[in-house]
Structure 1
Amino acid sequence: MEYSYPFSIDWSTDEIVDVIAFFQTIEKAYEKGVKREEVLSKYRRFKEIVPSMSEEKTIFREFEEESGYVSYDIVKQTKTSPNGTIIKGISRGKR
C-alpha cells in the first residue's frame, strides 16, 4: 500500500520519524495485531508531539483518509484493555 503519512513542517526530523512509527503501529494492529504496551508507548510519544486534541483528530482523519485505518479505534481499545492484550483493528471496509 502506498500513501503518505500526515505530518507538520514544524516538527523536527525525529518527531516526524516518531509520528510515522506510531502510524505504523496502527497499521500493524490492523494487519496482524500488536501488544497493548507497544501501542501505548507509541501513542504517548505521539501525544508529546501532538498534545492538542483538535490537532490529533485532524491528523487521525488525514491518516484514515489516506490509509483506511482508524487510529481512534485502536487508541480507544488500547486505553480500555489490560496489559498483555493484543490490540487488533477491525476493518470497516474502507480500504
Structure 2
Amino acid sequence: MENKSYSYPMDYDWTKEEMTKVINLWRAVELAYEIGIKKEQFLISYREFKEVIPSIGEEKKWSRQFESVSGYSVYSVFQESKKTDKKTIFMDDNKGNK
C-alpha cells in the first residue's frame, strides 16, 4: 500500500461503533484501489456504512469528502462491485484514478 498522509472525514458526534463502520468503508475503498479486496468484504463494509449513513444525500456528501482527500471513489468501487462477477475488486489505476 502507498504511504498516505490524510485524515478520514469523520463526524465526531458519531459513536465509536459508528466511526469504526465508516472507517472500515474508507479502508475497504483504499484496498480496492491499492491491492484489491474481496467483493463480499467490501459489500459488508458498505452495508455497515449505510447503517450509519442511510441517506443517499449524506452518503454522497461523505463520499465526496473522502474522495477529495484520498482520490478514491466510493461510488466507483460500489458500481464495480455490482457489475463484476469476480470475487475480488481491484480498481484499475488506468481509469484516471489515483
TM value normalised by structure 1:
0.89
Q: Superposed, which structure 2 residues align to 1:23-42 within 5 Å?
A: 23-42=26-45
Matched, 1:12 2:25: no
1:76 aligns with 2:74: no
| Sequence identity (%) | 39
Unmatched runs of 5 consecutive residues or more in structure 2: none
Paired letter, 1:90: D
Matches within 5 A, 1:48-67: 48-67=51-70
Query: Which of structure 1's runs of 4+ aligned residues deviate more than 4 A?
Result: none
Kindly provide the amino acid, as one letter, of the partner of residue 25 in structure 1: A
Q: Which amino acid aligns with 2:59?
A: E
User: Could you state the TM-score of these two structures normalised by the residue count of structure 2?
Assistant: 0.87
- 2: CA distance, partners of 1:71 / 1:13: 22
Residue 68 (structure 1) shift: 0.5
Calculate the aligned-residue CA RMSD, in Å: 1.3
Give the AA of the match of 2:75: Y
Quick check: 3-12 or 32-41, which moved more? 3-12
